[in-house]
Homo-oligomer: A and B are copies of this chain.
Amino acid sequence: MLGGAATYIALSASYFTDVKIVAVVGDDFAQEDRDLLASRRIDLAGLEHVPGKTFFWAGVYSPDMNDRTTLRTDLNVFADFQPKLPSSYLTAPYLLLGNIQPALQRGVRSQMNGVRLTGGDTMNYWIKDYRDELLATIREWDFLLINDSEARMLSGEYNLRRAAQKVIDMGPHTLVIKRGEYGAILFHRDCHFIAPGYLLEDVFDPTGAGDCFAGGFIGYLAGQGIQPRDRSIDLAELRKAVIYGSVMGSFCCERFGVDRFRDLTRGEIDRRYQEFKTCTEF
């Protein structure tokens, strides 16, 4: 079924701002999947079609949904992907780089003219085996979104407060550490903000939740027209972005794959944002 970081990020962000995708698919990519993205007014000019099969992943989750085991990863057309931005993309003000080889992330950023805010995701594989390339890449970023085990691996510190300080010294002025069902922590300058995970009654499928978090986070900031000054962003806006990220991640888990985005409304998103307020205020 339809999946992938670009898909989840774009669907999630599209509730807050216009989105342009750069990605690659094979000739098996379904028209109904294009239609879903187009229905959210996601610009597909940068969605490259090449002969062959689309990237494919399959996995199984542990009963508590906190661990997953990969059954199959077929890179297919993704193996030779060299992202090329359409000229209509080059002046976009906000750039989110999904989890991919750091050199490719860097190449995308270098094509952009005058981007206001850049950030992205990475994973254990790049942290471990492509460290220098990754460090050169994130040095240019405003924000990094990673999970707690990645933050520990990248920094070499177990304690998250100390890990965050080391990661911020690597370049990004803003760091969000995701903690799965336990929520996320935002670090910016000397401050931090802790957001809880939404207490779902049913976690149906957590696939894509982290990417939906990223989409809600950058989508909200883009929608607000945020512009960092002196490597600093209004902390109140960053906090709201983290909550919108959490809201989008929570909706993602409610149904299989991208199904929740077939009928999710902005009204539901804002109601859940209010629920977050209600269940954390004291």
Interface set of A (CB-CB < 8 Å, partner B): 63-64, 158-162, 179, 182-183, 185, 191-196, 199-203, 236, 239-240, 242-243, 276-282
Roughly how many angstroms separate A162 CA and B64 CA in the complex, as a whole number? Answer: 14
Residue of B nearest to A179 (CB): B182
> 21 A–B contact pairs at CB < 8 A?
A64-B158, A159-B200, A160-B199, A161-B199, A161-B200, A162-B201, A179-B182, A183-B196, A192-B279, A193-B279, A193-B280, A193-B282, A194-B196, A195-B280, A195-B282, A239-B281, A239-B282, A240-B282, A242-B282, A243-B282, A280-B282
Residue of B nearest to A236 (CB): B282
Report which of B63, B194, B277, B279 forms a contact with A279, defined as CB distance below 8 A: B194
**Copies of this polypeptide in the complex:** 2
| A220 CB, nearest partner CB in chain B, Å | 12
| A206 CB, nearest partner CB in chain B, Å | 13
| A175 CB, nearest partner CB in chain B, Å | 13
| A16 CB, nearest partner CB in chain B, Å | 16
Roughly how many angstroms separate A185 CA and B203 CA in the complex, as a whole number? Answer: 18
Roughly how many angstroms separate A4 CA and B185 CA in the complex, as a whole number? Answer: 33
| A155 CB, nearest partner CB in chain B, Å | 14
| A115 CB, nearest partner CB in chain B, Å | 26
Contact A63–B158 (Cβ < 8 Å): yes
Determine the chain B residues whose CB is within 8 A of the CB of A182 once the complex forms: 179, 182
Determine the chain B residues whose CB is within 8 A of the CB of A63 once the complex forms: 158
Contact A201–B279 (Cβ < 8 Å): no
| A222 CB, nearest partner CB in chain B, Å | 18
